[in-house]
A = this chain, B = another copy of it.
Amino acid sequence: MSELTVDITASLDGYVAGPSPSLEDPLGVGGERLHEWLFGLASFRKQHGMEGGVVSDDDAVSKEMAGAGATIMGRKMFSGGAGPWESDPNANGWWGDEPPFHTPVFVLTHHERDDLVLGETRFVFVTDGIESALAHARTAAGGERVAIGGGADVIQQYLKAGLIDELRLHVVPLLLGGGTRLFDGPGPELRVTRVLSSDAATHLTYRPVKEA
């Protein structure tokens, strides 16, 4: 069965977004600084249709992040903090015409909606819970791994349910001082399986300790 992985960038003080996120500023105040470690990397640029860029350990990590066969995300991560689409049924979130996924994305929501295709990415809206979304994503991924794209609340739900196989935490040396916490409750026993670090980010990989 394909693995379920999370790649998430957090500040040293554990925030995945700064204070006051909005449609205009979906990562909150100061939150865009979380992802600066990615912007110059060759694999990140390629994923976003640009050439060139830096090849480094950070780039290798970024390449791994991009290799999922399907993605699961929360409704707010799709629509950027705006309300549900009943008020604007054509709302396409904030991913633009060429979302960077290129593989199916399953959006967890309480509001039904037909599939939406943008560029090479199909968004499928799932209203019957996290296990259903995971089952659909696994089918779509065809043996490749399934990634959880976020946000923090979705990661927490999968973590508490014991469904995550690998948590890859990218810690940037930044104290945001407020915002959305990555962790907010109990989770499984973990073990660290890899540590890589650069000036820009420290990459910590964890896997749950499975009972023998």
Q: Which residues of A contact B (CB under 8 A)?
A: 12-14, 159, 169, 171, 173-175, 177-178, 182-192, 195, 197, 199, 202, 204, 206
Contact = CB atoms under 8 A, between A and B. Distances in A.
Contacts of A190: 12, 173-175
Contact of A183 (B12, B171, B185, B192): B12
A171 to B, nearest CB: 8
A12 B206 contact: yes
The 7 closest A-B pairs by CB, nearest first: A177-B186, A13-B183, A175-B187, A195-B197, A173-B190, A14-B14, A173-B192
Copies of chain A in the complex:
2
21 contacts: A12-B183, A12-B190, A13-B14, A13-B182, A13-B183, A13-B184, A173-B189, A173-B191, A173-B192, A173-B206, A174-B190, A175-B188, A175-B190, A177-B183, A177-B185, A177-B187, A178-B185, A191-B199, A192-B197, A195-B195, A195-B202
Q: Which secondary structure dominates where chain A touches chain B?
A: loop
Contacts of A204: 171, 202
A31 to B, nearest CB: 14
Contacts of A14: 13-14, 183
